[in-house]
Amino acid sequence: MTISTAPVPEPVAADGPPRHARRPNRPGRAREWWLGAALVLPALALAVMFKLVPLVRGVITSFESSSGFGGSSFAGADNYTRMLDDPMVRTSFRNALLVVATLPVWVVLPLVLAVLIHQRSPGWKFFRAVYFIPYTIAPIVVGIMFRQILAPDGPLNAMLRTVGLEPLAIEWLNGRHSALFSLVAVALWSFFGLGVMTYLAGLATIPDEIVEAAYLDGAGFWRRLLSVVVPMLRPTVAYWSVLCASGVLIWLFPLIYALTQGGPGDATMLPEYLVFLTTFQFLDRGYGSAIGIALFVFVAVLSIFSVRHMFTEGTRKPR
């Protein structure tokens, strides 16, 4: 019996060089790097020019003593210790805390209106067309407009007297307790359109079948809002919450300037307006810069807290 053995085939050489011998396309990567740098550098230059440089200059100025248009001298931490004994500074930051306490309204009200528009409630076409208009009006114009509306003999009080609500026809901008409330209400009217647009963009990502299934199961509006919409919109709600938390204290200057100018007394005095008065009216640049840096730290701490808690909650997956 003859045993035949088949010839062993010779290994076929792989096409091209081995993997370890391949070299990266260095010219291509260099072009990508330069393209990325060209796209990033303009934004980085603008951020450094209009954010970092003024911040550093403000910190330096806060350690100086200056009066009028003359020169300045080094004052150390005198401006900061002076703030601790200044009742106007304490009042302005107390008012700022009261404004921050209204943040739930800033977050919830645009969400409710966005859901009503999205589910095509009666009148949704009208609100879809006009909800963003207040945000497109310059804040200084909004302030001038509402200064007339909220005047003691303005249209709002005239309407309240006409319908028999005479006790509610108060001096909205001249009352010690009503001025700050009126200022926040005007600011909310002016900026809520941006929140509605943000929420509508988030609602567009929710499949209609999910909301319809909740409706068919008998869930009412508030149940659908709390159990379906909010869990699926957590990232959007977190984003708008962080934006409001960091911006509510730096959005109100034009409205304060047009409506109350910090009055009556110090009822609507906020740190941003106090910085303006101290720096440009009393010409105390060092002290004004110190108040501005204190406001920057206050907003930074509030923003960090919001990012850590709200955004973490927003990115958590619903159960």
CB atoms within 10 A of CB 140: 13
DSSP-derived secondary structure letter, 12: P
* Neighbour-count burial of 191, counting CB atoms closer than 10 A to its CB (0-12 exposed, 13-18 middle, 19+ buried): buried
Which pLDDT tens digit goes with each residue over 261-300? 998 989 999 999 999 999 988 889 899 999 999 999 988 8
Quick one: pLDDT at residue 309? 65
Which pLDDT tens digit goes with each residue over 56-104? 999 998 998 877 666 778 888 899 999 999 999 999 999 999 999 999 9
Q: Tokens 């954010």 correspond to what residue?
A: 51
Quick one: pLDDT at residue 69? 65
CA-CA distance, 156 to 82, in Å (whole number)? 42
Quick one: pLDDT at residue 15? 52
Which pLDDT tens digit goes with each residue over 181-238? 999 999 999 998 999 999 999 998 888 888 888 878 778 888 888 888 888 888 888 8
CA-CA distance, 24 to 164, in Å (whole number)? 81
CA-CA distance, 222 to 140, in Å (whole number)? 36
Domains of the chain, each with CATH number or no CATH: 109-141+179-314 (1.10.3720.10)
pTM attached to this predicted model:
0.80
Nearest Cα neighbor of 293 from 49, 94, 89, 48 is: 89
Which pLDDT tens digit goes with each residue over 6-29? 555 555 544 555 555 455 556 678
CA-CA distance, 303 to 281, in Å (whole number)? 30
Angle, in degrees to the nearest 10, between helices 139-149 and 179-203: 130
CA-CA distance, 129 to 131, in Å (whole number)? 6
Quick one: pLDDT at residue 215? 77
Instruction: Note the maximum CA span of the chain.
Output: 123
Quick one: pLDDT at residue 1? 45
The residue among 108 and 4 whose pLDDT is bigger is 108
**For the residues of 235-269, what is the DSSP string, one character each?**
HHHHHHHHHHHHHTTTS-HHHHHHHTTT-STTTT-
